[in-house]
């Protein structure tokens, strides 16, 4: 992979009291790739991606998006900059419809003279766009865009969360354990969706403990250990047991894979 990283971090530090969650952590996401981030429990993966998507403010270090330094103070700021995150808990509102969930926090409103938040919601536009986005991503097994999210299967919910991220993420999609709660068939659909998003040119950061999934879709694997990037490996050159041995410290990665 070459070129300028879409998203880059240098020397990120984050402490929670005495716990060092990030210890001079570096990160590089290249254009068009699926980058998996793996590591043992507590290695700092979630803290790293939360720093990248504005959910955690690092104590020090720099983050660059398309070569420009950014200081996200909230996930909303990161979203506005084109970074969409699919959180482990999905951040969907179960009682709301699929269309309403797709537009949660960025509702379309009808033109009018009163203040932005008093204007009436443009439901038909939101429904039309939501339907188009889901169709584009091959997710229209969902029959009714007005169906509430609580009536969907786990895989379909994940699909809505991914569709929302893919539809609005203009630069990066971050996915935290997207298949953790899913069955075999539903996981498969989500992996296919990820490859679809990649084909559309959007790079993805995937945090996962599921090695077969990581090895199936990742172009590169960032191994996080003790709060920092230990190595970056090409999944075609290593086995799953190598990756697990590197992330647990049972084996030291070869020089070429070691991060600077």
**Interface with ligand ATP (CB under 6 A):** 16, 19, 21, 39, 41-47
Give me the least distance between CB of 5 and ligand ATP, in Å please.
Answer: 21
Which DSSP state fits 253?
Answer: P
Q: In what order do the strands lie in the sheet with 228-233?
A: 83-86, 172-176, 204-207, 34-39, 220-225, 228-233
Nearer Cβ to ligand ATP, position 19 or 140?
A: 19
Residues 6+ apart with CB under 8 A from 93: 100, 101, 104, 149
| CA dist., res. 67 & res. 237, Å (int) | 29
Nearer Cβ to ligand ATP, position 40 or 136?
A: 40
Nearer Cβ to ligand ATP, position 18 or 68?
A: 18
CA gyration radius for the chain? 19
Residues 6+ apart with CB under 8 A from 188: none
Report residue 225 as tokens: 């250990």
Give me the least distance between CB of 38 and ligand ATP, in Å please.
Answer: 9
Nearer Cβ to ligand ATP, position 21 or 152?
A: 21
Give me the least distance between CB of 41 and ligand ATP, in Å please.
Answer: 3
Give me the least distance between CB of 36 and ligand ATP, in Å please.
Answer: 13
């Amino acid at each position: 992979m070459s070129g300028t990283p879409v998203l880059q971090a240098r020397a990120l530090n984050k402490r929670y009291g005495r716990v060092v969650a990030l210890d001079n952590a570096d990160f590089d996401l290249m254009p068009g790739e699926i980058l998996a981030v793996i590591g043992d429990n507590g290695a700092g993966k979630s803290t790293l991606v939360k720093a990248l998507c504005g959910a955690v403010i690092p104590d020090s270090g720099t983050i660059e998006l398309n070569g420009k330094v950014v200081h996200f103070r909230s996930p909303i700021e990161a979203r506005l900059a084109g970074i969409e995150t699919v959180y482990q808990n999905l951040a969907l509102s179960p009682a709301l419809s699929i269309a309403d969930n797709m537009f949660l926090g960025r509702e379309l409103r009808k033109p009018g003279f009163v203040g932005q938040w008093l204007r009436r919601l443009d439901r038909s536009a939101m429904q039309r766009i939501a339907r188009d986005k889901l169709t584009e991503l091959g997710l229209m097994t969902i029959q009714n865009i007005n169906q509430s999210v609580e009536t969907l299967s786990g895989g379909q919910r994940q699909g809505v969360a991914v569709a929302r991220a893919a539809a609005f993420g203009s630069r990066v999609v971050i996915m935290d354990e997207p298949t953790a709660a899913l069955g075999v068939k539903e996981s498969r659909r989500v992996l296919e969706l990820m490859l679809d998003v990649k084909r559309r040119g959007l790079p993805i950061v995937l945090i996962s403990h599921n090695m077969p999934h990581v090895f199936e879709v990742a172009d590169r694997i960032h191994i996080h250990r003790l709060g920092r990037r230990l190595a970056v490996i090409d999944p075609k050159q290593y086995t799953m047991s190598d990756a697990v041995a590197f992330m647990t410290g049972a084996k030291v990665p070869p020089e070429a894979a070691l991060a600077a």
